[in-house]
Every structure is written in structure tokens, then in C-alpha cells.
Structure 1
Amino acid sequence: MDIDTQQAALDDHHDDPGDLPVMRARFEHNGSPRYLLYTIKRFGFDRDHGFHLDVELVSDELEDGLETVEAKLHEGDADLIDIDYISTARERVGGAPIVAFHPYGRTVGGLVVHEDSAIEGLTDLRDCRVGVVRRLDKNWILTRAACREYHDFDPEDEAISVEAGSKVELTRMLRDGEVDAALQFWQIVPEIVETGPYREALPMADLVQRLSGADETLPISTFLTSEDYLAESPDAVEGFKRAYADAVERLQTDDDLWAELGERMMYEDDPAVVRGIRDGWREMVVADWDGEKVAAMERLFDHLLEVAGKDALGVDHIPEDMFRLEVTPTQ
């Protein structure tokens, strides 16, 4: 299913915003937030909470070193995106007036290999060609940190990292044998392994929990907006948080909705793939956050910085006021 078909499914639920404040959401066509966004539009949760969510799907390629959604926010063409909080820190330190106002989830990926591969885990990566979307991707950062922390080597030095530039290209490289393993994003892993002949050697979620020392699911990706939009449209931002809660509750309990998502919003509507994505989404999503959870996120960042270093992360601290746990509506 191509990007235009998915956009058409969303457009079926795009009505006239009228006098409601508009929030322009720009998300990757193969990113997992599109399931949440479709649910919000499908059931009118945005209108229920006093705003109009305008959803547009975009490519997952890089523009001047940024993911397309990041570029959209930087250029003033979006009010809502999601990226990992390490990238958010990197961009904010670089001067971008962006803030993280709500968690999304533990959106990490998996190490995928051919079913006949000898690679079983991190220790087998030495001298291998490892495909990554980009070297500053959270999956590669986690891999480097875990290898240095637990196995006394850095795969950036002892393996060959191959930068694909997009998720689509990374899958192609794996299937064409140009890499020995791929650190692919979680929602694409079921599409690869269920259609074979591939397997997931290691889920990155295991590394998040081990490195963080946290028992609860930590959000790695968050929803972002600009400082200006937050100041000008706090009611819309608060409305999104409430619509998000409604959509998460629906997605956690409604299996029929996932079947509909498979038909309208997925590249593979094989029932096994849909179930894999559904179960993975339910496991990784984070409904809300508080100061304790943000503190755990900051501890994970500090640990990654300690074991992987600034060069791996691209930033050496999380700026103050990057996380906005509270939104003050005008009403």
C-alpha cells in the first residue's frame, strides 16, 4: 500500500475545521504513529477535544541530515511530529525552538538477520556489515552503548556500519544481501520476519530496559511542537493530549480496529503481520508521564553518554525546559 493510498484513508476523515484551532501533524508514511493518528481522525477525537488535526504523511528520507518530519517542524510547515528524545536534545542544543510535550512510546527497533545467519546477538557483530538508517539513529546508539558496556568493544570500530538513509532502503539492503544485519524500526520488523526468510536476533527494547535499569516502559520517542505553537495554541496542544488518551484506550482494546488499520494503513495486511504490529504497539506505547518517568529518561541519557560518548549521541546534555509535562490552556 503506497503513501497516497494511506493518505486517502486519512483524508476520508478530514472534515472542515471551521473555527477550531488547526494542528498540522506531519508523520512518516511508514511510522507507527499513523495508527494513532488514523484512530483520532476515524472517531473524531480531535473534534471532541476542541481542535482540528490535519494529518499529512511524508517520506522517511533525510533532508540535510534531518528526518523529513524534523525538517518540516524546523521550516514552520508542521505543528506536531514525533522523534526520539536524544534527537530532540540534539536539535534544541543546536538552537531549534522545539519542545517535547507528551510521550509516545519505546519506539526502538530490532536487529534483523537472514534466518541462516550465524548472528545471534551483540557479540556476533564484529566484522559484520550492519545496516542503520543513520549513524545517529537511536538503535545504533543503543547498540554501541550496550556493546561497550557489556562486551568491551565498539561496533563503530569493529564492525562496518552502513547508512541507508531511509527505512525502505534499509529493508532493500538487507534483502539484497548488502548488509549482514539491519537495525530496523520495530513496526517494520514483523513485515520482514513474517514474510521471511528473516528473524529478529535481538529486540532493542531489551537494551533500553537493561541500560536504563528501569522496570517500567520508558518512552524513547515523544511528541514535539514549536515554542511558538505551544504559546499560541495551548488549547490545541492540551486537546491533542486528551485525544491521544482516547485513541490509546481504543487501540489497546479494539482488535477489529487493528484489522481495519491493516486494510487501510499498512503495507502488509497479512493477519500475522497485523497481529505482530498490534501486539508490539500495545507493548511499546506509553499513556502518560510524570516527573519520575522523565527522570528515568534523563538517567538513561546520562548512562548512554557515559558509555557511548558525545560522538555517538551527537549531544552531551538534555537542555532545561525541553520536556513540558504541563500545558496551560487559555480556558
Structure 2
Amino acid sequence: MKQLIRYFSIAIIFLSFSAYAVSQDGKKDSVKVGVLKWGTANWELKTLLDKKLDNKNKYKLEVVGLANKNASATALQGGEVDVILTDYIWVNRQRAEGADFAFVPHSLTVGGLIASPDSGIVNVSDLKGKKIGIAGGPVDKSWVILQAYAKEKFGMTLKDEVETVFAAPAVINEQLMDGNVDAVLNFWHYNARLKAAGMNEVISVKEVLKELKLNDQTPLLGWVFEKKWADENLKLITAFLNSSFQTKEILLNDIGQWENLKKKMKADEDETLFVALRDAYRDGIVTEFKQDHISSASEVFAVMASIGGEKLVGSSSNLDPNTFWKAYIE
């Protein structure tokens, strides 16, 4: 009996030391990433898991599906998830209000103005007197940057020269297809569906940025997390970010990999739609975080602030240099 007690005592001591070592290290072995339940970020995360890139980078990815953008912000702020996908303008706004979130680029500023082939709209100046459907509200970022372009190139105060209709993305697409609006600004994947259905892209956001002498490779969306959490879990967040960029390389360079995503893309029965979504996604991929992302984002931010004002950017009219998490590239 004494021997048995001694055996269990040694086992307990061993387990205690093991647990102590883990707790002393303070690093978790998993990352909880919150994304919209039906969002396109799931295409990357599915591929990451299918390729076991979390295991290869020595951590475990946990994907948490969330209902909408507000739910994502709430989950991050409440500590229910470690990382979410959102834009750097939101991060900058939160930082101006005292939060300490940080951003690492995920995808470029993409999208565009879409019109029907018989609308007579071939450039932005043709929008005068037309009706435009816009997803995302009056301070939608594509709408804001298009206004800056119209003012710079054509001297137009676009919001005063068109009739705007704001609605949910699916409704905006229906409005164009039914001929109730002349053109639309929608999220990139809804635009891809319109192009697959025969609609024309009048001008892309990338082209708008070029015309404004801004960098068309400027990121908009990124992985966002609390800086304190990242500092305390440096190896863990780095492992997640590394695996994310590795997955992007696969999706950019291995076309065959996309066949595994058809069902998740809801394009398994429509090859034209599948190709449109695949190519549009690949067009927005950021393959690495570069220092010039910060300077180009700052320039785009200034333009958006000049048009969108406080309703878009909050109390800060400049990009906080710590909005981007530079520790990842330093």
C-alpha cells in the first residue's frame, strides 16, 4: 500500500510540475478566430485546416462563426475570441477611443462600380442624374472613395448629383438585376455574382486608387487582436499569421485547391460563378505584410477622412502609427 501511495504521489507531483510549466509559460496552444458564419474568410480558414497548417505551425485553430460585423466586434471586445477580421479604419477608430487593438493585413481594397450593359454608363461622369444602389450605408468605404474620385476627376459632388439607395447586399443586387437602379456599389463577392450574370464593371476600386495616385495594393481588411494579448502570446499569434499567409500562397498559386471550396462558395453547380468568385478572391489576396502598407493606408485614410468625416473615421483624422502591428515584420 505504501508503495502504491508513493507511486501516486510521484505521479501527482509530475503532473503538477507539468501543469506549472504550462501555466508559467503563459502561452495558449490554440487561437480562437471569429469570422462571419457565411463570410468568404471561411474559404481561407477551411483550406488552412484541410492542409493542417495550424498543426504544422504548432498551434490549434478554432473557428468561431459569428452573425455579423457587430457580433465580431463584440466577441473581440468581450474576450470570446482572440482574433477577428475587420478593417483598419475600425481599429484606428477604436484606438482613438482608448482601445489597444492592432491590425495585420489580410486582403486588399477591392470592389467596384457595376452597371448593366444597356445603362449607358461607361464612366463615373455618366452617373449624373442616375440612381445608385449602395451596400454598407452612407459611409461605405467604396462609396466614399468613389466620391473622392468623382470630385478629383470630374469636379462632381457625387452625392448631390445622383439618387442613392442604401440596402442589404442581396437586395442591392436584385435592384440592379430588376432594373430598379442604374448602377451599384456592393461587396466584392456580390459584384462577382453580378459580373457572372452579365453585368459590367465600370471602374474598380483599384483603378480609382490608381487615378487618385494612391497605392492600389493598399490593404483594407486584416486580422485584428488586442495588442496586449499578442505581446503575451507572441509565438502563438505569429504562428497563426504565418499559417494564414501560407494559406494565401496556396489559394493564389494552386488553382486546383479551389475545387475543394466549391460547395462552401455555393458555386458547385455554376462554373461561371465559381470562376468569377475564385478570381475575384485571388485578386484581393495580400501575400505578405510590408512596411509600405502602413504608409499607403495612411494616405488612403486621409482621403476617406476628408470625404467620410467623423461618421466614418471617428475622432481621429490621421492614421495612428500603431494601428498596424509592426512587431510581425520587425
Corresponding residue SS for 1:53: strand
TM-score normalised by length of structure 2 = 0.81
User: Aligned partners of 2:74 and 2:28: how far apart in 1?
Assistant: 26
Q: Does 1:154 align with 2:154?
A: no
Which of 31, 44, 47 is the matching residue for 1:36?
Answer: 44
CA distance in 1, matches of 2:72, 2:113: 24
Greater CA radius of gyration, 1 or 2? 2
Q: What fraction of aligned residue pairs are identical, expressed as a percent?
A: 23
Q: Which amino acid aligns with 1:268?
A: A
Q: Say how many residue pairs are matched.
A: 300
User: 1: CA distance between counterparts of 2:100 and 2:169?
Assistant: 27
Closer/same/farther in 2, CA of residues 118 and 78 from structure 1, 3 Å limit = farther
The 1:239–1:193 alpha-carbon spacing in structure 2 relative to 1, beyond 3 Å, is: same
> Residue 314 of structure 1 aligns with which residue?
313
Question: Do structure 1's residue 46 and structure 2's residue 54 form an aligned pair?
Answer: yes
| CA RMSD across the alignment | 2.6
Cα deviation code 1:73-112 (max 9, x no counterpart) = 2333332222222232223323343210x21121421212
Q: How does 1:276-295 map to 2 (within 5 A)?
A: 276-295=276-295
Please tell me the residue identity of whatever aligns with 2:226.
S
| TM-score of the pair, normalised by structure 1 | 0.81
Query: Which amino acid in structure 2 is aligned with residue 103 of structure 1?
Result: P
Q: 1:75 to 1:141 in 2, by over 3 A?
A: farther
Give how far 1:280 is off. 2.4
Contact 2:112 2:188 in 1 (8 A): yes
The CA deviation at 1:206 is 0.9
Partner of 2:101: 98
For 1:236 and 1:135, the matched residues in 2 are separated by 38
Letter in 1 for 2:224: L
In the alignment, what sits opposite 2:86?
Answer: 83
Stretches of structure 1 lacking an aligned partner (at least 5 in a row): 1-18, 61-65
Deviation at 1:171, TM superposition (A): 2.5
Q: Which runs of 4+ in 1 moved over 4 A?
A: none
Question: What secondary structure is seen at the aligned counterpart in 1 of 2:319?
Answer: coil
Deviations 1:45-66 (A, max 9, x none): 1121122211133344xxxxx6
The answer to whether 1:296 aligns with 2:296 is: yes
User: CA, structure 1 residues 174+93, in 2 after alignment: closer, same or farther (shift >3 Å)?
Assistant: farther
Alignment of 1:150-299 (within 5 A): 150-164=153-167, 166-196=168-198, 198-214=199-215, 217-262=217-262, 264-269=263-268, 270-299=270-299
> Greater shift after overlay, 135-144 or 293-302?
293-302
Post-superposition offset of 1:212: 4.2
Classify the secondary structure of the residue corresponding to 1:220: strand
Q: Is residue 20–residue 50 contact of structure 1 (8 Å, CA) maintained in 2?
A: no
Q: Secondary structure at the match of 1:118?
A: coil
Q: Which runs of 5+ in 2 are unaligned?
A: 1-26
**One-letter amino acid of the counterpart of residue 163, structure 1:** F
